Chain A
């Protein structure tokens, strides 16, 4: 595994083969997809820290979904990636959707975990409050709220390492960058999903209350040929909560689109 700095992003790059680019969500880092490496041995896996997240610096301009998208596209080009499978989680799926609609030639397929097209109205209103809390020294409180709401009951009861990972991932973010990411997400308007013509998998936990199955179902109805899979007793942080299920779905999907 190599840590590279490419343009404004830091990314983990591992392996050789057809490229896969993985984009975490709000409060995540490249580590969110660490468990998936187990089934991606035959690919060149590029896991980015989105602008302002993890080790990627916060740009001078306030964060926006457009800037995140163009940072990833620029990074792909700098790494010589002409075409890749894109994998996203939560807010990262919005980046995936935008690249697929704007630069269809770059995208071989989309695998979207806990996907959303845009925040629901209630979330749009809640995100600025969360930004304020993060800025005022309360990012660990934010982390506690995410753990309480974002993980399934089963995960919270039986998988303390997953709980700890999610809490750590959020509380160790740069508070200002996290706040700006919240604000950027609050401004997102859905793209026209019918512009996506790459093969698409949506995978959502049946206990995901952040971006529930109904949201993924509505997206599946709009994306040509998209397939929706749900995971039992899985909350929003599926790649961490349900490693076996996610890996199986991802491996099966990639096998099908690579054929």
Chain B
């Protein structure tokens, strides 16, 4: 099941995407419920899906992020693919490099909820704040069932499904402050979408993750190459911190980010970054410089 949050005639809806027919069938939900996006479905607590209405052409709607405003910060995992761990620790921006390139335990940081923007929304580069803007293609896990002390073997029971994020990062700010939050939480720095898929739609063993900048392939890996896999991440996070339905966990980015190049290839106004994961789709955003 492929679920999009979208707006039409200025009102938000949640619906089932049909890629063959290029349509989305809105769920029959009251406006105030649909306003929370995918959360309106996740919060139904096993009440089943609401009825779907007649499909609307995707061309008539504007896609929004599946969860337009998450209830909590987005949890993120740092340095979670081997090659990326090495490229980042050599970059000079890794305030965790002293502990070694490959972390012994997951590095968890977060992005504030207001960073989230939709597929095709502009990501704003404010050159007065940072001139070292970088992309990070990531698989994001959406929690469907709350839990504390979740065991690795039960982790997928708590997963609703997946989406993609571009964990946009201001590298200079990430390096300047030993906590990464500021560099990761600049306004518009979390493109998410284009929609969410239920967990059965994604083949974690084989799905590839790719990132293109202006059509040039920069990142190309497999979800299966995560250092800390999804059960480990969920077990680690939830050990003493209750996870709630609608929580989002970005699982980390593979090698090929801008600072992996010498000299670094930072993003500039007009660049278009496209994130792809097999089984989900493509998330594409244009970067624009903030008018001073």
Q: Which residues of A pack against B, CB within 8 Å? A: 98, 188-192, 194-195, 197
Contact = CB atoms under 8 A, between A and B. Distances in A.
Given A189-B25, A190-B28, A192-B26, A197 B53 contact: no
Contacts of B9: 194-195, 197
A98 B54 CA distance: 10
Contacts of A188: 54
Interface in B12-54: 13, 25-26, 28, 31, 51-54
A98 B28 CA distance: 16
Contacts of B13: 192
Nearest to B27: A192
A81 to B, nearest CB: 22
B64 to A, nearest CB: 16
Contacts, number: 27
B31 A189 contact: no
B37 to A, nearest CB: 16
A197 B53 CA distance: 17
B8 interface: yes
A14 to B, nearest CB: 32
A98 B26 CA distance: 15
Contacts of B56: 192, 195
B216 interface: no
A192 B52 CA distance: 9
B17 to A, nearest CB: 15
B128 to A, nearest CB: 42
A191 B28 CA distance: 9
27 contacts: A98-B54, A188-B54, A189-B25, A189-B52, A189-B53, A189-B54, A189-B55, A190-B28, A190-B51, A190-B53, A190-B54, A191-B53, A191-B54, A192-B8, A192-B13, A192-B26, A192-B28, A192-B53, A192-B54, A192-B56, A194-B9, A194-B11, A194-B31, A195-B8, A195-B9, A195-B56, A197-B9
Contacts of B51: 190
Q: Would you list the 6 A-B pairs with minimal beta carbon distance, nearest first?
A: A191-B54, A189-B54, A192-B53, A192-B26, A190-B53, A191-B53
Interface of B: 8-9, 11, 13, 25-26, 28, 31, 51-56
B197 to A, nearest CB: 22
Contacts of A192: 8, 13, 26, 28, 53-54, 56
A192 B56 CA distance: 9
B52 to A, nearest CB: 7
A189 to B, nearest CB: 5
A9 B25 CA distance: 29
A192 B57 CA distance: 13
A112 B188 CA distance: 45
Contacts of B55: 189
Nearest to A97: B54
Nearest to B25: A189
Contacts of A197: 9
A188 B13 CA distance: 20
Nearest to A94: B54
Nearest to A188: B54
A194 B13 CA distance: 10
B24 to A, nearest CB: 10
Contacts of A195: 8-9, 56
Contacts of B26: 192
Contacts of B25: 189
A188 B28 CA distance: 15
B6 to A, nearest CB: 11
A128 B126 CA distance: 62
Nearest to A221: B30
Nearest to B34: A194
Given A192-B28, A194-B9, 11 more contacts: A98-B54, A188-B54, A189-B25, A189-B52, A190-B28, A190-B53, A191-B53, A191-B54, A192-B56, A194-B11, A195-B8
Contacts of B54: 98, 188-192
B30 to A, nearest CB: 9
A192 B55 CA distance: 9
B242 to A, nearest CB: 36
Nearest to A197: B9
Contacts of A98: 54
B166 to A, nearest CB: 30
A190 B25 CA distance: 10
B162 to A, nearest CB: 26
Contacts of A189: 25, 52-55
A226 to B, nearest CB: 15
Contacts of B11: 194
A68 to B, nearest CB: 14
A174 to B, nearest CB: 27
Nearest to A104: B9
Contacts of A194: 9, 11, 31
A191 B23 CA distance: 13
A177 to B, nearest CB: 23
**Residue from B8, B9, B52, B55 whose CB has the most chain A CB atoms within 10 Å:** B9
